[in-house]
Amino acid sequence: MIFVGTGPLYALAIPTDANHEVATRWHASSVEPLVTSDFIVYELVTLLRRRGHSDLAIDVGTRLIRGELAIIEWVSRADIDAAWATFTAYRDKEWSFTDCVSRVVMARLQISTAFAFDEHFRQFGTVTVVP
């Protein structure tokens, strides 16, 4: 399994995004299932809507919720607590809370590869980032 962040999902949906071509090419060649968290879904659909793509936000959100684009791993209370501990421990990083949730979910699921354009995934130190 490969964890997918907000950036690649956004790039796949928006043809004018700077990372669209590389995201599309990598996604087409990947055979492993993609996993994401509900926090990534929230972040993605909000970003799409805020950037004027409301209909696309609904389409992509629906496809994610149906499991067509990725398997959604729903965040637990224990994940939230661990993500908060991560957020407060790494004050020197600019990791968002969603980044911390992603780190915790990946560790819990023993996922060591992320499809991401966010430099923060590389900073985790435990993750191989593709493409």
**Tell me: the pLDDT tens digits for 77-118?**
999 999 999 999 999 999 999 999 999 999 999 999 999 998
Confidence of residue 121 (pLDDT cuts 50, 70, 90): very high
> Which CATH class name applies to 2-130?
alpha beta
Domain regions of the chain by residue span:
2-130
Confidence of residue 123 (pLDDT cuts 50, 70, 90): very high
* Orientation of helix 54-65 relative to helix 38-50, angle to 10°: 160
